Amino acid sequence: MAGVLLVTATMVTAASFAQNVPVPKPAPKGRDSAQPPAGPATTGATQTPPNPVIPDPRRNVPSSIFQTFDDKQKAQAARVSAYLSSLSTLVGNFVQVGPDGSKTQGDFYIQKPGKLRFEYDPPSPIDIIADGSSVVVRDRKLATQDVYPLSQTPLRFLLSDRIDLMKDTNVVNVTADDLFISVTIEEKQALVGTSRLLLMIGAKDGQLKQWTVTDPQGYDTTVAVYNLDAGKKLDPNMFKIDFTNYNVPSPG
């Protein structure tokens, strides 16, 4: 099982949680008109599954976090921070594209702080559940699950009550165009290695569109979300981890 990166969550292909999110293409700099962040709301009519924006695997991603951001980039990051902080729950559908190009779909549920559930459509037997402190990647067919600390998943930023991307994370890049505001966050774990999370927000509607997780080996997993509803009340039991009916494999 690949390293964990969650909602990263949730974005895992049947065999990997964090490594399966390809990175959406970072948008070029320079949007002149920034609209205020949209608050929690339902996006409207049911949408058809989107085609995720798959990044060029040869792309150049800034390697140093010690860089200077101009006022426009800081404003874009602040807009994304305000939007993420405004959410308390988020429900919708997702399309995930793994490093090998395989595509899976399903439903996701987020309740802040720290809780998430990704249910993959058949034939995938995978569920991903975060209960606020741990994340499990569950195989319903085998009745097994792998457990990881939520603190080791870069997507935990999506699950924080309040977030200031420029202060709370290692932001290495901020770009914008007419379609997306893209923020790249770098995560360094002593035992795991360096991973990256690329968040893409709609430039016009201010809604979350997709994210890409790049694992320490350089593999991307991209998850595009749609039919978003930020006003739905969720059952807390959805986020409870079952340690009774699902075995936890021993290391090695």
Over residues 114-126, the pLDDT tens digits come to 999 999 999 999 9
* pLDDT score at 124: 94
Give residue-wise pLDDT tens across range 129-147.
999 999 999 999 999 999 9
Average of per-residue pLDDT across 76-100: 95
Whether 104 contacts 17, CB under 8 Å: no
Angle at 103 between CA 100 and CA 108, to 5 degrees: 125
Pairwise CA distance, residues 37 & 60, whole Å: 29
Strand partners for 226: 93
* pLDDT score at 38: 42
Whether 6 contacts 187, CB under 8 Å: no
- Residue 21 pLDDT exceeds 80: no
Average of per-residue pLDDT across 174-200: 88
Instruction: Outline where 123-170 has alpha helix (H).
Output: 165-168
* pLDDT score at 63: 53
Pairwise CA distance, residues 5 & 226, whole Å: 21
Between 205 and 187, where is the model more confident? 205
* pLDDT score at 9: 35
Pairwise CA distance, residues 11 & 223, whole Å: 6
* pLDDT score at 153: 77
* pLDDT score at 58: 65
Between 51 and 179, where is the model more confident? 179
Whether 246 contacts 138, CB under 8 Å: yes
Measured on CA atoms in the order 132, 4, 208, 28, is the torsion positive or negative? positive
Using only C-alpha atoms, what is the Rg of the chain? 17
* pLDDT score at 155: 72
* pLDDT score at 157: 80
Pairwise CA distance, residues 230 & 85, whole Å: 12
* pLDDT score at 209: 97
Two tokens at 162?
């309040």
* pLDDT score at 45: 61
Average of per-residue pLDDT across 208-235: 94
Average of per-residue pLDDT across 8-34: 36
Average pLDDT, the chain: 80
Average of per-residue pLDDT across 213-236: 94
- Residue 199 pLDDT exceeds 80: yes
